[in-house]
Structure 1
Amino acid sequence: MRVKRYVVNDLPEALPMIRSELGKDAVILNTKEIRVGGFMGMFRKKKMEVIAAIESGAAASKPQAQSRQAADFNAVMTAINETVQQRTNAAAAAVQPSIESRGDGFPGAAYAAAGGAASKLPQQPQAPNVSTAVMERPDSSAALSRINDELLDEIRVIKQSLLQLSVNRPNQDLPIAMRKLYERLVDQEVDADLIRRLLDSTEETLRSQALPYSTETVWEIARQTLLEWLQPLSGERIREDARIVHFVGPTGVGKTTTIAKLAAEQTIKRGRKVGFITSDTYRIAAVDQLRTYANILNVPIEVVFSPMDLMKAFNQLEDRELIYMDTAGRNFRNELHVSEVNSLLQTNETSETVLVLSLTGKTRDMMAVADNFAKYGVTKALFTKLDETSVFGAILNLALNYQLIPTFVARGQTVPDDIEPFNAETYVNDLLGEAADE
């Protein structure tokens, strides 16, 4: 038997190393937390020691290989459970003194409950359940907040790793057409949980209707299933009665160009009186860009530097039927920046806020941004740069996981032509592609 020791930051980091060096049949024998480095016993960093092994000798038969793979999967689950338990215990130990010093009888059982939730992780990893008890502490300190963030981040990584493992394992025995569908969805960066749901739903339909596992049939069933999932979120646009529409989103996603496209459609095609407000005073020449569009469309523009300037800007545009407001692009993975922008969106008039996202960005970053804006009631999104990517899974992930309604999609720079309302059927066709081409 060949045995090897790995020292990594966390367990998911060790998995690809083990498979690369020892092969897919390697088994994790033991994991434990250790401390390395430092100076004279101080400032030592926490690491994870992982012991893996693989049986040497003749190649095993397929049933034996599958058995070892199952053992590997179970070992990973057990090790991850131990990691989460250690993190939870550390969080409980860190906050216990502050709990005892309160003297108000606040029970510490919440942390035991968190530990109990963590022990159930192998059956169904639920990151929010593990962290809820810690996050709801009314007297959280800076140290507690840091522990909470580390715990939650690690559990999110663990959950995603487990979901990916749960999808990868059955893929080996799938029929060819189902395997092609799986590979297409992975290439499109669809969330692992959604892939599993779609595969299960498609296979159930094939079995219940005794349909053949042909590529065309599998694609058609998957297409219909996705349309059913998206149907409740399709058909909604920016409200017609909204006089003020705020556009928010990270830097570089194309908010200003998108506003120009929509304003051109409203002024040229529908004859409405449109006005611009911009608070994007952070980016160099951002105001000049929107002012250029305003001059071309013969639309008035107001610049605001703080929430106190908003009332004056609205008074200047009181004769306008529709006002588009451009906000500064910031790092909206930071909740503080989101709250700053949200302070500019308060108005007594009928308004709506649209989150603008670029499909060329990372799905994980887009989900973090959507999560922060969802806390302030933002439910609609506009996706840009569809012409610059061939990966469309982020729209499905955000729509189903965050109930973020797609309103428009933009496919280029031409004003006002390269924008259109979101169409679920067109989107699903882009997402799945043609079955014959797979």
Structure 2
Amino acid sequence: MPDLQHKRILLGITGGVAAYKAAELTRLLIKAGADVRVAMSAAATQFVTPLTFQALSGKPVLTQLWDTDVDNGMAHIELTRAVDAVLIAPASADFIAKLVHGLADDLLSTLCLARACPLLVAPAMNQKMWENPATQRNIHQLRGDGVTLLGPAAGEQACGETGLGRMLEPAELLAGLSAYFQPKLLAGLRVLVSAGPTLEMIDPVRAITNISSGKMGYAVARAAYEAGAEVTLVSGVTCRETPLGVTRLSVTSAGEMAQAVESRAHHADIFVSVAAVADYRPASYTAQKIKKSEHTLTLDLLPNEDILMRIASRADAPFCVGFAAETENLLEHGEAKRQRKRLPLLVVNRAQDALGSDGNELLLLDDAGQHLLPQADKLTLARQLITHIAQLYTHKTRGSHAAPD
């Protein structure tokens, strides 16, 4: 994760069962190239020993307010002067209350109060504690104070109950921290993304589909969220995990995807159509499994509606971006498709290289010409694409509000 390379992170750990996850988070941060220093509350040391984090981070763990590891003995002042961010994971209900009221009775709470860098908090507590009005007031105040919250998630908790309050998994926290450092080029905007393949059912066990994995569309959704947008992802059938912070709507067929996109397009500022929508569907559906025989089976196929063209032709159309997978003559076929659909931007890739792969090469076509994004992993490409989209969108909106001559 190159965006965390050389980032200096102070990881604060408070008391709670989820403290064991902070060990894996430390490992992932180090693996991503971050420089990690760990500070623990007294309660946290009851769940995981400081020695564990010292071994993982390669640095002594700070637990005492007047820690002698800092030359002048003022760790609560010095620690945040040389870091890019403080991340508290897990953050207990008690510690969150301390942050809100400015209490400073140990090293971790004091350094947060005296910090000179951004603060991110990953709540972890029982679902009733999370739902308590006092906690919700504190969370509201934290946000108002400019603190970034990562989570919590819903799920089974150590106490045996199920609900909101569970700390995000280490990989999700890593993604959230990575997202924090991305430029907020789409702040305040709403982005709609379609991704993955569609399935057109023939009978209960057979379907027409394609080999799209959804990786590129999910990467675009993640990159848009990282850029500060409110993101809705309409996804075909895929095994991919929903990106952190993204609202996902799952569909199966092209018809279902068209309905989902259509119902949300009027709320979107930008629509990025990455989905590999089936071009055809069976003319009829057989309710029972078609039995295999020696005879030739013929299917009558009907064309599916072009979702992107339909959205782009609306009077209130969002800024529309299309994707095209071609096997030859990428520039010629891509530009013809862009003109036909009247798109400000079309992204072309080579189908045989793109579908299902972890990396890709993209050719961006817009009114200014062509722009090549060289071979890279799909998240890197998605971030570069979002930067290009943000530039075009800003130019378009500025132009539309320009005063007449």
TM-score normalised over the length of structure 2: 0.31
User: Greater Rg, structure 1 or structure 2?
Assistant: 1
> Normalising by the residue count of structure 1, what TM-score does the alignment of the two structures yield?
0.29
The structure carrying a bigger helix percent of its residues is: 1
Higher relative contact order (CA 8 A, sep 6+): 1
